Amino acid sequence: MSRIDALFARSPVFIGFTVAGDPGIEASLRVAKAMIEAGVDLLEIAIPYSDPVADGPVIERAHVRALRAGTTTDDVFALVRRIREHAPALPLVLFTYHNIIHRRGPDRFFSEAAAAGADGVLIVDLPVEESGEVAPCAARYGIDRIALIAPTTSPERQHAILSGASGFVYLISLEGVTGERDRLPPGIAGLVGAVREKTGLPLAVGFGVSRPEHVRTVVAAGANGVIVGSALVRLIEEHAGDEAGMQDALRAAIAALRRGLVPDPEPDIP
C-alpha cells in the first residue's frame, strides 16, 4: 500500500500547500517541518514557476519569492529528500506546471521525483489529451498522477481524466484561480457526489478553503480531504523576517483549520 493509500484509509485528512524555496530554500525546509509538526497529513510542494496561471496573487508572489531566492528544480528535489528524511511516512505531492517536466524530460523528472521520495505529482496545466508522454513515466517510477476536476468539467471529460488518475482526485471548489474566499460556493456537495459516482479514488477539495467553517463544509459534503494553500502561504509572506513568528502562525492556523475536520457535537436534547 502506498503512503497516499494508507493515509486516505483514515479520512478526512488535512492537506497543506507550500511553495518550495519560499522565502528561501533553508527557510522553506523549516516551514515544511513546522507544518508537519502542526498536523498536516499530506504536504503539497509547488515547484516555483514564472507563470503560475492557476494561482491567485498570494501564491503567485510566493513563486516570485522562491525564484528570486534562486530556487531550481534540483533544489526542490533536494528539499523533498530532506523532508522525506524528516517525515518518512508522510505523503508528499509535487505541484507543478508541465513546462518544468517537458524541459527536464518526463523520464528524468519522474525518476528524480521518485528517488527524492515524492509520492505523487499534480500537473496543473496538462490536458488529459496530451498526457501520453507523462503517464508511462509516472507509472514506471510508481508516482501517482493526481487528477484535477473543476465545477465546469463535463461528465464525459471527468471520465477521461479519471481513467488515468491515481492516488486521489483534487476537486476545484470554484471557478477561477487559487485564493482565500469569504465563503465557498454552494455546489460542493453536488460536485463531490457526481465525481464519487465515477471513481473509487479519494476526493479532496481545494481552492478557496481558508477557514475552519470551510473545512467543515467540505467534510459535510462528503469529501475525503481538504486542501489549504493561500491561507498558509499568506502567513509566510506576512511574517517575512520573523521566522519564529511565521512558524508559530502556521502552527496556530493549521491547528484551527484541523478542528474543522471534526463535526460539531450534537446538542444535548433535554
Q: Are 232 and 203 in contact (CB under 8 A)?
A: no
The 10s digit of each residue's pLDDT in 11-29 is: 799 999 999 999 999 999 9
Residue 266 has pLDDT above 50, yes or no: no
Q: Is residue 99 predicted with pLDDT exceeding 90?
A: yes
Distance separating alpha carbons of residues 253 and 160, to the nearest angstrom: 37
Give me the pLDDT at residue 262, please: 85
CB within 8 A of 67, min separation 6: which ones?
21, 48, 49, 50
**Please, is 42 exposed, middle or buried when counting C-beta atoms within 10 Å of its C-beta (0-12, 13-18, 19+)?**
buried
The catalytic site residues sit at 44, 55
- Give the predicted TM-score (pTM) of the model: 0.93
More confident residue, 1 or 113: 113
pLDDT for the residue 182 = 56
